[in-house]
Amino acid sequence: MKAYKAAKEFGFVNARVRGQLARSLNIADYERLLRSKDYKKFIGALRGTRYGPVISAATPVEQPSPEELALVLAVDYADVSHRLTRSLSGKVRRFANAYSLVFLTEGLKTVIRGKHVGLEKSEILSFVVPTSTAQSKMFARLLRKENVEKLIEDIPILDLKVALLTKLPAYEEFDSPVPLDVALEEWYLRKIMDSLEEFSSDDKQRIVQLLEARVDLRNTIMMLRALILGFNRRMINASIVRFTEDSQAFGDSISQLDSWSGVLMQLRKTKHAEMATRLRRIYTNTQDLAEIEMVVEDYLAQQIKKQLTGFPFHLGTVIGFFNLKYLEMRNLISIAVGLEKGEPASIIRQMITIW
């Protein structure tokens, strides 16, 4: 009975997601793109995929630059995600709407960072991907403000504005947008948790486990970077994203450590023990944080892929789609940048995540 109810509730969702994923690039597509002799050949090969009409509709330029291509792909991702969300109904749609707030939070991060370092309005907006006309107008309006504080005060979403204003003293103390990034991330996580209230405990647990993994590993990387850069304790505490009780306890525990080996040893005490052992081995051999970040991204992608295998009628199908489509966009950008810089396929292959 439970399986029948889930299949009835998520049958349409699953069909929509499977239809979209069927258009995703496969391993053969990636290999064909990676074998491109140069960036021009790559664009030609990419035009032979589903992205051909997308590129042609977005720009009249025969060979868009990697930066222009990145924006085209980001807009397409936002459009596909938005159309999928609109096709859903009820609590599933409310969850998808909450999950889609990632475009708002990432856009605000870009706007705040750009304003912080004094970039021109047009330059900042070229990296922002709004999902509606109203959102586009909001970003443009915020960038007319004279500083970050005034920008925050003009945000029309009350609870988000309060969350950012709470972190404003830390932003001013450290002269860094990182505390504001943390505020946006935590606000986004709260919105997702609120949207899960109507779902079963099984569905809630599926999503929470994925989000916990993302937060814990993000905090691990942040702490490794903080040790390299010599952050003081106050800045470290302002950089930790706090989520569930277990996740917060882990974040607090690593914030007090003073060695990378201690951070990874603490990670071994969590449900990510196997991953911690792998990261320790890699970092011991390379001392390369970029390689750690790539391994973490691959690990998270594999965890998300598991949501799309086996019994498919559950909320993990939705989050799986959003994340795997995002990885596809990021992969294409990585290949484009790598080929434009003349990197060999063997190096670029290490920069992407194929599920």
**Would you say residue 113 has pLDDT above 50?**
yes
The pLDDT tens digits for 222-235 are 999 999 999 999 99
Can you give the pLDDT at residue 81?
84
Backbone angles phi, psi at 14, to 5 degrees: -60, -40
**Would you say residue 326 has pLDDT above 90?**
no
DSSP letter (8 states) at residue 153: H
- 325: pLDDT confidence band, cut at 50, 70 and 90? confident
Structural tokens at position 36: 């491109």
Question: Among candidates 27, 16, 24, which has minimal Cα distance to 317?
Answer: 16
**Would you say residue 244 has pLDDT above 90?**
yes
Q: How high is the mean pLDDT of the chain?
A: 89
As a 3-state breakdown, the chain gives helix, strand, coil percent values, each rounded to 5, of 75, 0, 25
pLDDT top residue among 59 and 183? 183
Can you give the pLDDT at residue 8?
56
> Which residue has 């021009």 as its token pair?
40
Q: What is 51-108 written as a DSSP string?
A: HHHHHHHH-S-SS--HHHHHHHHHHHHHHHHHHHHHH--HHHHHHHHHHTTHHHHHHH
Question: Among candidates 149, 171, 151, which has minimal Cα distance to 111?
Answer: 151
Rounded average pLDDT over 230-252: 95
Can you give the pLDDT at residue 251?
96
- 264: pLDDT confidence band, cut at 50, 70 and 90? very high
Element (H, E) at 151: helix 148-153
Can you give the pLDDT at residue 1?
47
DSSP letter (8 states) at residue 49: S
Query: How far apart (Å, rounded) are the C-alpha atoms in residues 269 and 214?
Result: 16
pLDDT top residue among 148 and 125? 148
Structural tokens at position 352: 């992407």
Rounded average pLDDT over 169-198: 96
- Percent of the chain, pLDDT > 90? 57
Amino acid (one-letter) located at 65: S
**Would you say residue 341 has pLDDT above 70?**
yes
Q: Which range, of 89-93, 135-139, 292-296, 312-316, averages the lowest pLDDT?
A: 312-316
Structural tokens at position 227: 């040790």
Instruction: Check: CB of residue 174 under 8 Å from CB of residue 151.
Output: no
